[in-house]
Amino acid sequence: MTDPNRKTMVLLGNEAVARGLLEAGCQLAMSYPGTPSSEILPAFIRFAKSEKIDVYGEWSANEKVAFEEALAASYTGKRTAVIMKQVGLNVAADPMMSSAYTGVRGGFVIICADDPGPHSSQTEQDTRMFGLFAKIPVLDPATPDEARRMLPFAFDLSERYELPVIVRPSLRVCHGRESMTLDTPLVLDRKADFQKDPHRWAATPHYRLLLHKKLNEKLRAVSDEFESNDTWNFVENGGAKSNLAIVAGGMPYATIRDILVDRGVFEKVPVLKIGTPYPFPRKMIEGFAARYESVLVVEEPDQVIEMQLSERKGVMGRGDGTVPDEGELTAAVLMDVLGKVLGKTGVIDEPWAGQNDARDVVAGLELAVRPTSLCPGCPHRSSFYAIRRTFGKKGIYTSDIGCYTLGLNLDAVDTCLDMGAAISMATGFYHAYKRDKGEIPPIVATIGDSTFYHGGLPALAGAVYSDARYVLVILDNLVTAMTGMQPTLALGGQADGSIGNKLPLEDACAGLGCRFVRVHNPYDIEGMKALVQEAHDHCREPEGRVAVVIARHPCLLHEKKRSTPVVRVDVTGECNGCALCRTTFECTALSVGPAIPGKENRFRTVIDRRICADCGECALVCNRGAIVVVEGKNG
């Protein structure tokens, strides 16, 4: 019976996590945006407001900062959380490793979203594996509702053992939707009460050894507790007579279950679902596995359950190549895996037929893949165009993580590694070339406004200090665009919508010792070209330093009231199909039109009105003047 007082709602996985935070009594949450985790913090604040619960939510400068802030708040006895995507945990790894030893006081939960695929990340790393490395318990939800229900348990576990606890939803859990019956939020009236204990909170190596011993004891106790937990770990169809059993966790469990049900073989296969992959509930998992000739282990993105099994005989998974070792375990992939495994073990008599027919037909159509491209009207495009036209092929272009990684379509991005690397890598390139005492190529680093504050500040300090000489273009669109328009430090926008202290980019750069710091609107392409050239000249003068150009123009998708005029363009008969605009400016609103008569493989450019942003920038690009402004005015 459902309680009529409990509301049933459809929530996005990330909203379900946010709701779970409230139902667990979480009082403070810190986060840095990153797909697929970005919707959690705003939902936490929104839900708390609507329930009239007082919480603090913060977009922090980066994940390390977020982690340390939330951890300190837990030291006061409050329940706190830190929220990020999987590569964000690399940034927060330093405090995380240490926090396992110091432990926590108020419940402290690390919510870290994985991205098998990867769909919008630089790696497919497995946060569960990070849990093993850091010696921190990991919970792995398979559905949005399970993620919500896991959070009160995670906080309770964290508090009972005074340990951080990781909750690892993956992309499809974060971005899945599910109808669920909500529980009542838990309102904790805990006051901050930091109890000094220097041997713990400021432990020197001697005490660290003792803390490590204590940590190991805690993990053994948590593992014992997981052995008998049948809420997150449970067997389905345990009575089925079968040679084969399946052990699965996270999203792949949900997918496998739906496939088995759809194919009418669900009752034939025992399935052990694991929601607590670390510390490993060994007796329970190995006791289950020992009852069957073969065991298929399905998890993502890496092997964590499989790797921890001490007996590998009869185990099928990533280790023996049954399950692909990279890429997302989509339903299509798992159907292939299951079809083969169920056939081999005699669960089904004949391999599943017909499942690939439609896929083969579609593959034969060779449908064009929609290119990933900067949006029409994106100010970054104009910046990249100006940079590339100024320094050409001989320039070295380091870039960073954000929308502007797509500057690679304009041949203006040569490297993209991790947050902040545009600046430190430009420094590295400079010093490597400088040692040769020959000509040092122009080097231009591009980085977004939010990324600059995330990882660029220490890199710029290092560049000035080591006297590296290059142009740094901060692509300032006044928002963290890629992850869904979160505010940046520069404008002081807070997670709850209020405005706090502003940190102008130009002040930060000047404060770090840059002498050439100029702000320019990149829509003025000719002006941008002249300015980046001037910046380059400055940085190579004897008294020069790394030179900063702040290319400032709001993101068109974010800007509520447009600051630039509508400039409608058209293509005249002068267009000779040279395609310069389509290749060098690479705006998706410049599309391939009819063939130019008498010219082989030459096609007119036509404006795709459905997506054109009326920015007028392409009119500045055509060297025949064939793209003309028919309405409005450029600049």
Partner 1 sequence: MKPLNMLVAGVGGQGILFASKIFFDAAMAKGLKVMGAETHGMSQRGGSVVSHFKMGDQTSSMVIPGTADVLLALERTEGLRNLEFLKPGGVYLVNAPDLSHVPAAVRSHFESTGVRAHFFDADRHALAEGKPLTANLYLIGYLSALPEMPFEFAELKEALTRLSAPAVVEANLKALANGFEGARK
- Binding residues (CB under 8 A) for partner 1: these are 8-10, 13, 119-120, 142-144, 172-173, 175-179, 251, 253-255, 257-259, 261-262, 330-332, 335, 354-355, 357-359, 361-362, 364-365, 367-368, 370, 372-373, 375-376, 403, 406, 481-482, 557, 588, 611
Q: Which is nearer to partner 1, 2 or 204 (CB)?
A: 2
Q: Which is nearer to partner 1, 176 or 448 (CB)?
A: 176
Identity at 432, one-letter amino acid code: A
CB of 485 vs partner 1, minimal distance in Å: 10
CB of 27 vs partner 1, minimal distance in Å: 30
Which tokens go with 278? 């670390």
CB of 494 vs partner 1, minimal distance in Å: 23
271 forms beta bridges with 236, 246
CA distances in angstroms from 264 to 32, 268, 335, 447, listed in the order given: 44, 9, 13, 52
Residue linked to tokens 């502007």: 404
Pairing of strands 315-316, 294-298: parallel
For the sheet with 471-476, list strands across it: 415-416, 396-399, 443-448, 471-476, 547-552, 517-520
Phi, psi of 364 (to 5 degrees): -70, -20
Q: Which is nearer to partner 1, 2 or 498 (CB)?
A: 2
CB of 167 vs partner 1, minimal distance in Å: 18
Q: How many CB atoms lie within 10 A of CB 631?
A: 12
Which tokens go with 389? 């036209």
Q: Which is nearer to partner 1, 203 or 481 (CB)?
A: 481
Reported as type and span, the H/E element at residue 629 is strand 627-631
Q: Which is nearer to partner 1, 46 or 529 (CB)?
A: 46
SS3 state at 282 = helix
Q: Which is nearer to partner 1, 360 or 543 (CB)?
A: 360
SS3 state at 427 = helix
What is the DSSP-derived secondary structure letter of residue 235?
A: E
CB of 251 vs partner 1, minimal distance in Å: 7
CA distances in angstroms from 30 to 62, 71, 226, 484, 602, listed in the order given: 10, 10, 28, 17, 54
Question: Which of 519, 556, 610 shows the shortest CA–CA distance to 379?
Answer: 556
Which tokens go with 272? 């052990």
Phi, psi of 398 (to 5 degrees): -90, 140
Q: Which is nearer to partner 1, 202 or 332 (CB)?
A: 332
d(CA 408, CA 202): 46
CB of 593 vs partner 1, minimal distance in Å: 18
CB of 532 vs partner 1, minimal distance in Å: 26
Write down the H helix ranges in 315-415: 331-344, 357-365, 379-391
Q: Which is nearer to partner 1, 110 or 260 (CB)?
A: 260
CB of 536 vs partner 1, minimal distance in Å: 30
Which tokens go with 138? 């990991």
Q: 363: burial class by Cβ within 10 Å (0-12, 13-18, 19+)?
A: exposed
Q: Which is nearer to partner 1, 128 or 257 (CB)?
A: 257
SS3 state at 594 = strand
- The 3-state secondary structure of 543-588, one letter per residue: CCCCEEEEEECCCCCCCCCCCCCCCEEEECCCCCCCCHHHHHHCCC
Q: Which is nearer to partner 1, 98 or 237 (CB)?
A: 237
Q: Which is nearer to partner 1, 77 or 176 (CB)?
A: 176
CB of 365 vs partner 1, minimal distance in Å: 6
Instruction: Give the angle 549-552-557 at the CA atoms, nearest 5°.
Output: 145
Q: Which is nearer to partner 1, 53 or 333 (CB)?
A: 333
Identity at 570, one-letter amino acid code: D
* Positive or negative: CA dihedral 345, 346, 351, 355: negative
Q: Which is nearer to partner 1, 143 or 382 (CB)?
A: 143
